[in-house]
A = this chain, B = another copy of it.
C-alpha cells in the first residue's frame, strides 16, 4: 500500500522562508494543496481556467476584487472563480492553504518577478 501520512501545516510552514512562494503539500484529483507565507501586496491577476481557494491558517488576508475588498481571517476561506481579477494583500504575515488545479500559476495571466514555476514540495 502507498504510504499515507497526515500533514501538519503549522510544522511545514516553519520551513518556508520566502513570501509568495507556494509549496506543494498534497495532491488529489488533479488538484494541489499548497502552503504559503504572504506579506505585502501581490499583483492583480486572474486565472482563466482555474478556480482558487484561499484558506487562512493564521493572520488576516485581504483579497481585493475590482468591486470590493474582502478580509479573510484565521479559519475562513474564499473561492475566487476563474476569470475574476483579484489581488491578495497581507499587511502583516499571513499563512494560507490553497486548493487549486495542478496547472495553476501563482500570478495567473501575469508574468513578473513574483511568478513562481516549478514549485517545491514540502
Contact = CB atoms under 8 A, between A and B. Distances in A.
Given A4-B81, A6-B76, A8-B76, 7 more contacts: A1-B84, A2-B81, A7-B77, A8-B75, A27-B51, A28-B52, A29-B100
A114 interface: no
Contacts of A33: 53, 77, 79
Interface residues on A, range: 35 or more
B7 A78 contact: yes
Contacts of A9: 75-77
Contact of A79 (B26, B50, B76): B26
Given A28-B51, A29-B100, A99-B28, A4 B79 contact: yes
Nearest to A61: B6
B77 A6 contact: yes
Interface in A1-58: 1-2, 4-10, 26-31, 33, 50-53, 57
A122 interface: no
A72 interface: yes
B99 A75 contact: no
Interface string A71-111: 11001111111001000000000000001110000000000
